[in-house]
């Protein structure tokens, strides 16, 4: 099929959480503005169903994308919109990341009904998060805090906070901002105190690699400065085993002159080893160069004692 899809409809496969739907509708609106007919196909993924266990224990990021890929494979849908943070570092054979869009705020947000910031929390306060990265970084900032598991979509997490199970929760600012809940954010963590996850705040669009027509149709949505940043971040994560079971942070900034500055941190979840942090810069214009910077940073982390995740089977 070589025809453009202005005549037939493009179908976006999406999870059905409010955030996933917002993201899919955002892409739908951008594509419609370019003359495409676009529909949504909502679906529930395994990651949405398993809410009682930490993601790192039940198989990790792939859980949120597998069902969407099956829909692409079977031709029930054409494109899948993902939070890049949830997309595995290696896509399965036959799929590609066709597009990375402009990044929303990549920082983590502190949300609490009573306390204005992490510093304001009393000794031994309970903070909810299920991310290993947030856990080790929070514990490095405040060893006295009690970190408790917190899963579920944004509404579920905010509800649990409201029920009083936690003094505060930490989650991505991007999700709250997209859903018009920025007023819930008491403060944001600067990357210097809490380094974001690879890809946090960015959206990626996945298609079947044989659909070169779709890849071409998506190019107007590409934001190359974001893609260069997240390519470097994801390369670090890929080298270290790229899953939720690695307490890893990676965040890159791109200066106007093309200098990409990549920060990464790895923490030992058993607390045996202190946090290892690395920063490296390179002038980049291509995704390959950005990935090379990410690989170099990963090697530095490994040289300083970071360990790869065991390969998930």
201 binds ligand PBG (CB under 6 A): yes
Q: Is residue 172 a contact point for ligand PBG (CB under 6 A)?
A: yes
Q: Which is nearer to ligand PBG, 85 or 239 (CB)?
A: 85
226 binds ligand PBG (CB under 6 A): no
Does residue number 60 form part of the binding site for ligand PBG (CB under 6 A)? no
Query: Measuring CA to CA, how many Å separate 308 from each of 58, 214, 240, 248?
Result: 18, 35, 4, 10
Q: Tell me which of 48, 52, 86, 144 is the catalytic residue.
A: 86
Q: 10 Å Cβ neighbour count for 290?
A: 25
Choice from 132, 171, 290, 306 touching ligand PBG (CB under 6 A): 171
- Closer residue to ligand PBG in complex, CB, 161/172: 172
Indicate if 213 belongs to the active site.
Answer: no
Tell me which residues in 70-99 interact with ligand PBG (CB under 6 A). Answer: 83, 85-86
18-57 mask for ligand PBG (x: CB under 6 A)? ----------------------------------------
**Residue closer to ligand PBG (CB basis): 14 or 83:** 83
Instruction: Give the up-direction half-sphere exposure of residue 105: CA atoms within 13 A in the CB hemisphere.
Output: 18
* The one among 59, 60, 88, 175 contacting ligand PBG by CB under 6 A: 175
- Count of all residues that appear for the chain in the document: 313
Site for ligand PBG, rule CB under 6 A: 83, 85-86, 171-172, 174-175, 200-201
Residues annotated as catalytic (active site), given as ranges: 86
């Amino acid at each position: 099929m070589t025809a453009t899809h202005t005549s037939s409809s493009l179908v976006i496969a999406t999870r059905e959480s409010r955030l996933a739907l917002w993201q899919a509708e955002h892409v739908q609106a951008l594509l419609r503005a370019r003359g495409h007919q676009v529909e949504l196909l909502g679906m529930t993924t395994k990651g949405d169903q398993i809410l009682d266990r930490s993601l790192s224990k039940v198989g990790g990021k792939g859980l949120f994308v597998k069902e969407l890929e099956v829909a692409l494979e079977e031709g029930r849908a054409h494109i899948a919109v993902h939070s890049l943070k949830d997309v595995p570092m290696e896509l399965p054979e036959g799929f590609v990341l066709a597009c990375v869009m402009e990044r929303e705020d990549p920082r983590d947000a502190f949300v609490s009904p009573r306390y204005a910031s992490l510093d304001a929390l009393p000794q031994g306060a309970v903070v909810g998060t299920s991310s290993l990265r947030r856990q080790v970084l929070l514990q490095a900032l405040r060893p006295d805090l009690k970190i408790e598991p917190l899963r579920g979509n944004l509404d579920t997490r905010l509800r649990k906070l409201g029920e009083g199970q936690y003094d505060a929760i930490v989650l991505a600012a991007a999700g709250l901002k997209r859903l018009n809940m920025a007023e819930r954010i008491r403060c944001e963590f600067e990357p210097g105190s809490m380094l974001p996850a690879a890809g946090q705040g960015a959206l990626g669009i996945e298609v079947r690699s044989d659909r070169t027509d779709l890849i071409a149709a998506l190019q107007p949505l590409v934001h190359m400065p974001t893609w260069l940043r997240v390519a470097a971040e994801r390369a670090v994560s890929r080298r270290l085993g790229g899953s939720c079971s690695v307490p890893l942070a990676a965040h890159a900034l791109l200066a106007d002159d093309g200098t990409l500055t990549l920060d990464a941190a790895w923490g030992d979840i058993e607390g045996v080893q202190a946090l290892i942090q690395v920063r490296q810069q390179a002038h980049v214009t291509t995704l390959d160069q950005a990935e090379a910077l990410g690989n170099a940073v990963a090697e530095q982390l490994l040289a300083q004692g970071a360990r790869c995740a065991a390969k998930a089977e």
